[in-house]
Amino acid sequence: MNPAPTHPPKPPNPPHKVDNLRGIWWILLSVLGSSAMAVAVRDISTQIDSRTIVFLRSAISSGAILLALILFARLRAQLRFSQPMRHLIRGSLIAASTHFGFHAIAKLPMATVTVLFFLAPIWATLLAILIHKERVGPRRIVAITVGFAGAMVILRPGFGSFEPAMLAALASSFLFALALNMSRGLAQVDGATSAYFSSVIITALVSLPFAWPVLALPADMRGSIALSIVVVAGALRGYADIEAYRHGEAGLLAPITYLRLVLIATAAYFMYQEVPDKFTIIGALIVISATLYIALREARLKRLSGRSAPP
């Protein structure tokens, strides 16, 4: 008798087909979440250290997720950690990126720090060349160079306007891009829930020794509300980012993310009377143009059949 034919088991989290409409909705939620979180971080940073904000946000989020896992078996069934080392590396990089990012938000004008965060796609393209040996042609090399030139317009090193916290913003965008490059496809393999869960747990563990010497709670109701917004909006942004890029094309989603600059700059104007200077505006236009070109160029290349020529 011939044995019955066997079929390979279906992966727990099969790759999603492209669904740009769903991706757009998720990226809009990400924009709202990240904007609200940034404003709330700035507000609560007048009461507690940024290291404490990172720890409290990740610890509270971790507790909420653990409770949800206990209560809902369906959620537990979604957890999968097929590549634990990649989860660990990704979570550690995100933890460091968050610490640098929150420190920059607390110290810099909000429009300035938001623009510097937009360097992440440029870092990601550069890292893809170095880590994944991707072939990159002259046009994207020019876009990378132009993007960094825009950053130099904002930083203006040696002209008296440079702030050390600007380096923290650059480090945050670089580490976030490195996390994306070193965990390509992780959400596709293990699912968005697993990717988000591992990142917040690892961030909490990494942050505890740094936050311990300055650990404190908000001093009043306003601080407690701001911390709550940081936790909820941060969770929304983290999960929405994963889902957006899991469903939608990066070239389509990238322009929508620049709404963050409009929302954050508007909030900073009304709440803190911050007005971006001309160098920040010029640098923002340069950085956004470069990152937008890279995203659109990448999307076009993916649509082309056969990639015989370097981009």
Is 282 inside any structural domain?
yes
Is 137 inside any structural domain?
yes
Residue 244 pLDDT? 83
How many other C-beta atoms can be found within 10 angstroms of the C-beta atom of residue 256? 16
At which residue do the structure tokens 């709550």 appear? Answer: 228
Is 164 inside any structural domain?
yes
d(CA 223, CA 93): 27
* Half-sphere exposure for 298 (CA within 13 Å, toward CB): 23
How many other C-beta atoms can be found within 10 angstroms of the C-beta atom of residue 217? 11
Is 2 inside any structural domain?
no
Is 121 inside any structural domain?
yes
What does residue 108 show for φ and ψ, rounded to 5 degrees? -110, 160
Residue 204 pLDDT? 95
- List, for residues 133-164, the tens digit of each pLDDT value: 777 677 777 888 888 888 888 877 655 566 88
> Which of 160, 172, 191 is CA-nearest to residue 83?
191
What are the tokens at 260? 């963050």
Q: What is the mean pLDDT of each run of 10 residues along the chain (311 residues)?
A: 45 58 88 94 94 95 90 87 90 95 93 88 80 73 82 71 84 89 76 86 95 93 94 88 77 79 90 87 87 74 52 44
Is 6 inside any structural domain?
no
Residue 303 pLDDT? 66
CA angle (218 as vertex; 217, 220 as ends), nearest 5? 140
What does residue 54 show for φ and ψ, rounded to 5 degrees? -60, -45
Residue 16 pLDDT? 53
Residue 288 pLDDT? 85
Is 311 inside any structural domain?
no
Full domain range(s) for residue 240: 20-300
d(CA 275, CA 262): 12
Q: How many domains does the chain have?
A: 1
Is 13 inside any structural domain?
no
What does residue 251 show for φ and ψ, rounded to 5 degrees? -65, -30
Measured over the CA atoms of residue 269, residue 226, residue 231 and residue 107, the dihedral's sign is: positive
Residue 289 pLDDT? 87
How many other C-beta atoms can be found within 10 angstroms of the C-beta atom of residue 104? 28
- Regarding pTM above 0.85, the answer is no
d(CA 24, CA 22): 5
Mean pLDDT score of the chain: 83
Tell me which amino acid residue 22 is: R
